[in-house]
Amino acid sequence: MVTPEIFDSLEGTITILHEFVHCYQYETCEQRLKMSLDVARRAQETNNSMWEIEYPFPYKALDFIRPYTEFMAAAQTHDNQKIQSARKQLRTYLGLHDFEYMVWQEWKEGLARWVENQVKKHVGLPTSTKGNQAPFIRVTFYAGGDAYIDCLAGKDPSIVKDLPRLFAKMFIP
């Protein structure tokens, strides 16, 4: 629920914009993309509506931490070769369900964070960086997705206007 106080500050208004990004995702393509993922279909079959929040991801595993740290550093510097190398390592280590979950969170929350940070940059506010350093948690994918989307948009600005294409590009290791 939105209360009037959220609009008392510019940061509060930007937070609402972040949430509107999720509304746009839902209204345009979220369900179709989500149902293309085996991890989401399995959650639906078991009536697990909290899977996006409670998924048992191996955040503490060194075989995840090393390549994800490399990926985030490469995304910050827009080093496509290192990004692809790290994502291939992640895909190999994580397997299908964990990789699907990771990309889903990067796309869903990373896009909202990216839009939020674009607005913050425009108005001179500090950008959101929570999650970009260990220990890794679900919010890490907000930071990773934001950095990756920024890299992809730097090469092809139109990609952020085509959410299914953005998702597909993020999914390819």
* Domain presence at residue 91: yes
- 51 and 127 Cβ atoms separated by less than 8 Å: no
| % of the chain beyond a pLDDT of 70 | 99
| Cβ(58)–Cβ(98) below 8 Å | yes
Torsion of CA 88, 57, 35, 164, to 10 degrees: -50
- In this prediction, residues 67-92 reach a mean pLDDT of 97
- Please state the pTM of the whole predicted model: 0.95
Whether the predicted pLDDT of 159 surpasses 80: yes
- Tokens 């692809």 locate to 84
Banded model confidence at residue 2, pLDDT cuts 50, 70, 90: confident
Name the H helices within the chain. Answer: 10-25, 31-34, 38-45, 51-54, 62-76, 80-123, 140-155, 163-171
Residue 53 domain-assigned (yes or no): no
In a domain, 166, yes or no: yes
In the chain, the number of structural domains is: 1
Residue-averaged pLDDT of the chain: 96
Distance of CA 129 to the CA centre of its chain: 13
Is the pLDDT reported for residue 173 higher than 80?
Answer: no
pLDDT tens readout for residues 104-158: 999 999 999 999 999 999 999 999 999 998 899 999 999 999 999 999 999 999 9
Evaluate whether residue 145 is within a structural domain: yes
CA diameter of the chain: 47
Q: Is residue 99 part of a domain?
A: yes
**52 within a domain of the structure (yes/no):** no
- Residue 121 maps to a domain: yes
Rounded Cα–Cα distance for residues 77 and 62 (Å): 23
Cα–Cα dist 54/124, whole Å: 34
Average pLDDT over residues 17-34: 96
Structure tokens at 150: 């920024």
Within-domain flag for 126: yes
Structural domain containing residue 77 = 4-47+58-171
Read off the pLDDT band of 7 (50, 70, 90): confident
CB 10 within 8 Å of CB 116 = no
- For the chain, helix, strand, coil in percent to 5 are 75, 0, 25
- Please compute the mean of the pLDDT values over residues 53-62 and round it to a whole number: 97
> Two tokens at 50?
């909290």
